[in-house]
Amino acid sequence: MHRFIIGLLCLVVISGCGTTTTPEPSPTAQAAYPAYPVTPLPTLAAAYPAYPVTPLPTLAAAYPASESGNQPKLMFYIAEPVRVSDGQIRGGGPPQAPIRVINLSRGNALIAETVVGADGQFIAPLRDVTAGESIAIVFNEQVASAFTREQLQPLSIQVLPSGELVMSSVVVSP
């Protein structure tokens, strides 16, 4: 009995698929939607009076101008790739900025301390690291500097739980 019902259902489905209906075109043209007038919303500038805006201090005042008169780039970086076999780490930042190289993978262990040179470059020894570990440069606040934490915080990519500003980080390659 079940085979008969299943067979009958299959026959109904197959016969239903064989006949397809095609839509006929509508004899009446479609009417366009009526246009409604749109009133613009009032702007906030009209609703509130303008308040004076005090510009934020820039780091350009803290950097000495280069010989060409242009200001140096306002960023810290680590030259990649950093390999275990290199024995040193290279990078750059604002001239005369004190930095520390730390191993983020080993509880922020200190690798080296240095100062970015007048040319905006630094080289530091790379020791006690293995492939796959993350190293970073942080602003060294313990050393006297022309820079303050407030000046450099907008340039940081992370703030460690200890409060140190991470300026750039990279994963060490084999």
Q: Is residue 154 part of a domain?
A: yes
- The pLDDT assigned to 41 comes to 66
Q: Is residue 3 part of a domain?
A: no
Three-state DSSP class for 6?
A: helix
Number of Cβ within 10 Å of residue 95's Cβ equals 17
Instruction: Give residue 91's domain range.
Output: 60-171
- The pLDDT assigned to 129 comes to 93
Is 77 within 8 Å of 91 (Cβ atoms)? Answer: yes
- The pLDDT assigned to 33 comes to 61
What is the rounded CA–CA span in Å between residue 82 and residue 103?
13
- The pLDDT assigned to 145 comes to 87
Please name the helix (run of DSSP H) or strand (run of DSSP E) that holds residue 150, with its range, or none: helix 149-152
Q: Is residue 34 part of a domain?
A: no
Q: Is residue 76 part of a domain?
A: yes
Q: Is residue 135 part of a domain?
A: yes
> What CATH number does residue 96 fall under?
2.60.40
- The pLDDT assigned to 68 comes to 46
Q: Is residue 90 part of a domain?
A: yes
Q: Is residue 75 part of a domain?
A: yes
Q: Is residue 45 part of a domain?
A: no
pTM of the predicted structure, to 2 decimals: 0.57
Q: What are the per-10-residue average pLDDT scores of the chain (174 residues)?
A: 77 68 59 66 59 52 47 75 92 92 94 94 93 94 87 88 92 93
- The pLDDT assigned to 28 comes to 56
Domain count, the chain: 1
Q: In what order do the strands lie in the sheet with 121-125?
A: 77-78, 88-92, 121-125
